[in-house]
Amino acid sequence: MADLRINLAGIKSPNPFWLASAPPTNTGYQVQRAFESGWGGAVWKTLGDPIINTSSRFAAVHFNGHRVAGFNNIELITDRPLDVNLKEIYETKKLFPDRALVASLMVEPKREKWHEIVKKVEAVGVDGLELNFGCPHGMAERGMGSASGQQPDLVERQTYWVKEAARTPVIVKLTPNITDITATAIAAARGCADAISLINTINSLAGVDLDSWNTIPHVAGKGSHGGYCGPAVKPIALNMVAECARNAKVSIPISGIGGISDWKDAVEFLLMGATGVQVCTAVMHHGFRIVEEMIDGLTNYLDSKGIERVSDLVGRAVPRYTDWGNLDLNYAVTARINTETCINCNKCYIACEDTAHQCIERAQDEESGASYLKVREEDCVGCNLCAIVCPVEGAIDMVEQPAAGVPMSWNERQAAIAKLSMKGA
């Protein structure tokens, strides 16, 4: 059976599935129950000066009958005293010495404040520290969270301050609310971070009630921007993880976060460079025991691929991720409709006719007279839209075509044109 153990910058755990710093890791009771269910690690809900949280504070985006496609919250860091949290962290680590227990931290951007909290937290036996430079609401208005995380110089400086005092590995949690996440990832590496975690939540407003006109959620008729997470953010998170993983200036381990709901999502993050993953929304939706299926699914997947260790998956797909200018413009696929499985719902025809390249037509069988849908392959550009909207699995295949010429990317094309221009000159 495959070995699921990971080592993230010196932080070891029996599997790559950690709970992210969030409501599920607010107390020792919760984290201990999670560990009993099989979670390999947990990042304790962010510690700092306790605050007062609002009521109400959560909202969700439901889509096409799917509950919690996205999740929004305006909850801040811990509202429990630091000494209470530290006592429970100590007790939890004693009960589960083989699990990764990481403390999420957020204080004012002052060197002495970071040194003070680092020493207190490490004294109770945590395995590592995660610096919360990503919270987009509430704390950011106080000069912390994403207010720090959006400024590379502050990321570097505060990371360095923590490293001055820390004796355990330091993970920097990055905000996605920035133009280029690699800028802050590089800054964290310059500040001597041992790893990065990403993404934190995305600035958002979940909705507006059409009857009351209140925001969702609202607090006594007033609303505020919150942090967005859940399945809807997964493509954004996966891209940002990949961008950091392929950037040579980052070159530190990654803990992947953002919309991970099952073992398949986890594998995608691992393939794109994450050493391990953190989960929040799926747990809030379904409970701690989802980790059982995650562990079984990942184990079976590795066994089916003949892969002995989960660490062997890390980054395997990163070389396949590149800039658009490096893509082969002579590569071609075309759609092909399987008439035996097609149910003639016309979804592909409508999508292609109205919004793509008008290359699907209705045809008629000469013998039976039955109508069917057919792709004019010479006009098909291989955009994938028909296969995407088709409700029947396998009814439309995207078929690779013989190359129209030697592989040629946009960058190569432009270089060739420039070379010819120089010769002509």
Show which residues are catalytic. Answer: 135
Nearest to 43 by CA among 279, 229, 223, 271: 279
Report how far apart the first and last C-alpha atoms of the chain are (Å, whole number): 65
The token duo for 407 is 């592989």
What does each C-alpha distance from 165 to 54, 318, 418 come to in angstroms? 33, 34, 54
Q: Where are the beta strands (DSSP E) in 106-237?
A: 128-132, 170-173, 195-198, 202-204, 207-208, 215-216, 226-229
Q: Where are the beta strands (DSSP E) in 264-349?
A: 276-279, 333-337
Q: 335 and 378 in contact (C-beta within 8 Å)? A: no
As a whole number of angstroms, the distance between CA 330 and CA 100 comes to 48
Helix (H) or strand (E) holding 375: strand 371-375
Q: 228 and 70 in contact (C-beta within 8 Å)? A: yes
As a whole number of angstroms, the distance between CA 35 and CA 288 comes to 9
Q: Name the one residue in this structure whose structure tokens are 């007062």.
A: 52
The token duo for 120 is 């207190």
Nearest to 9 by CA among 255, 279, 260: 255
As a whole number of angstroms, the distance between CA 22 and CA 25 comes to 6
Q: Name the one residue in this structure whose structure tokens are 């980790």.
A: 291
As a whole number of angstroms, the distance between CA 287 and CA 298 comes to 19
The token duo for 4 is 């699921």
* Radius of gyration of the chain, Cα coordinates, nearest whole angstrom: 25
Q: Residue 145: left if φ>0, alpha if ψ -120 to 50, beta else—which one?
A: left
Helix (H) or strand (E) holding 361: strand 360-364
As a whole number of angstroms, the distance between CA 77 and CA 124 comes to 20
DSSP notation for 145-182: THHHHT-HHHHHHHHHHHHHH-SS-EEEEPPS-SS-HH
Q: In this structure, which amino acid lies at residue 154?
A: L
What sign does the CA torsion over 334, 336, 342, 348 have? positive
